[in-house]
């Protein structure tokens, strides 16, 4: 994916990818992670990489296709790559910084209080983290591409992507229950090894699918913002 982004968008896209990767890793390490109650077997798997970087890589790939005269495809691709990775950063940062919150998360911020780590649970700290993560990635994109408008646009789209992620996670993602442990889970197979039963949401839509939808929607919004900015 890094190779595709570099080929399609050059060093500007590469800088954005590095900003996402380095900052997300750093924030994950700096913030002591709470032990997750509902662990998947391996956390950083291929599906997670595709969910975060797939739309960006596709946009970069599309930039390699020759365009007609007057169409600045690499410029558009940098906006899409930045917008979708800003959304990925916003979600990652919100999870890490939100984990530090002393107030309990609420479902989509205004709803009922939920357990920390619940999909769609939001805190003020998490929202500040999301904004910071999106702003960092968008700022690097704006600097590297020499396009100042990309900084506010990418920040807004990244934050919006995090909101989409939270809403889909709370409302549409599959929710399951393990009868053996009498516990809720977001996985079809519980960490104890027993198969779970669906209690709500779409069974086929897991956290990676929600992340992919959010980064893909952010990619689309990035293209719209590029058009609105006169690109």
SS3 letters across the chain: CHHHHHHHHHHHHHHHHHHHHHHHHHHHHHCCCCCCCCCCCCCCCHHHHHHHHHHHHHHHHHHCCCCCCCCCHHHHHHHHHHHHHHHHHHHHHHHHHHCCCCCCCEECCCCCECCCCCCCEECHHHHHHHHHHHHHHHHHHHHHHCCCCHHHHHHHHHHHHHHHHHHHHHHCECEEEECCCCEEECCCECCCCCECEEEECECCCCHHHHHHHHHHHHHHHHHHHHHHCCC
CB of 181 to Zn ion, least distance (A): 3
Of residues 34 and 195, the one with the C-beta less far from Zn ion: 195
Of residues 28 and 38, the one with the C-beta less far from Zn ion: 38
Q: Name the site residues for Zn ion (rule: CB under 5 A).
A: 178, 180-181, 190, 192, 194
CB of 170 to Zn ion, least distance (A): 23
CB of 193 to Zn ion, least distance (A): 7
Of residues 107 and 190, the one with the C-beta less far from Zn ion: 190
Of residues 132 and 178, the one with the C-beta less far from Zn ion: 178
CB of 115 to Zn ion, least distance (A): 16
């Amino acid at each position: 994916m890094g190779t595709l982004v570099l080929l399609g968008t050059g060093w500007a896209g590469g800088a954005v990818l590095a900003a996402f990767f380095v900052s997300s890793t750093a924030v994950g390490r700096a913030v002591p992670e709470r032990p997750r109650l509902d662990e998947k077997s391996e956390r950083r798997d291929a599906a997670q990489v595709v969910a975060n970087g797939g739309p960006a890589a596709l946009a970069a790939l599309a930039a390699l296709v020759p365009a007609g005269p007057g169409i600045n495809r690499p410029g558009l691709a940098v906006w899409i790559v930045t917008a979708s990775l800003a959304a990925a950063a916003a979600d990652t940062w919100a999870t890490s910084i939100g984990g530090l919150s002393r107030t309990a998360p609420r479902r989509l911020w205004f709803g009922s209080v939920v357990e920390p780590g619940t999909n769609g649970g939001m805190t003020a700290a998490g929202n500040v983290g999301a904004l910071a993560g999106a702003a960092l990635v968008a700022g690097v994109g704006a600097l590297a591409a020499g396009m100042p408008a990309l900084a506010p646009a990418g920040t807004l789209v990244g934050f919006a992507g995090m909101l989409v992620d939270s809403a889909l996670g709370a409302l549409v993602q599959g929710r399951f229950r393990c009868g053996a442990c009498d516990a809720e889970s977001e996985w079809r197979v519980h960490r104890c090894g027993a198969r779970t039963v669906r209690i709500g949401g779409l069974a086929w839509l897991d956290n990676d699918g929600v992340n992919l939808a959010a980064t893909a929607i952010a990619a689309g919004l990035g293209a719209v913002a590029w058009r609105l900015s006169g690109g």
